[in-house]
Structure 1
Amino acid sequence: MRTKLLLAAAATFFTLTATAAPQGAGTERVDVVGAQPRQVQMAPFMFDNVQGLFELEDGRMLTVTGKVDGKTRTLYADFGDGPTEIVHVGKSRFVAVGKDLRFSFERPNSRRLPDTVRITNLAGRYVALAQR
Structure 2
Amino acid sequence: MKFITRGDMILFALLVGIILVMFTRVSYIATEADIYVDGKAYMKIDISKDATYNVADHMVVEVFNGKIRVKESDCPEKLCVKQGWVSSPEIPIVCLPNKIIIKIVGTTSDEEMDAITR
Higher relative contact order at CA 8 Å, sep ≥6: structure 1 or structure 2? 2
Q: Which has the larger radius of gyration?
A: 1
Assess same fold via TM > 0.5.
no
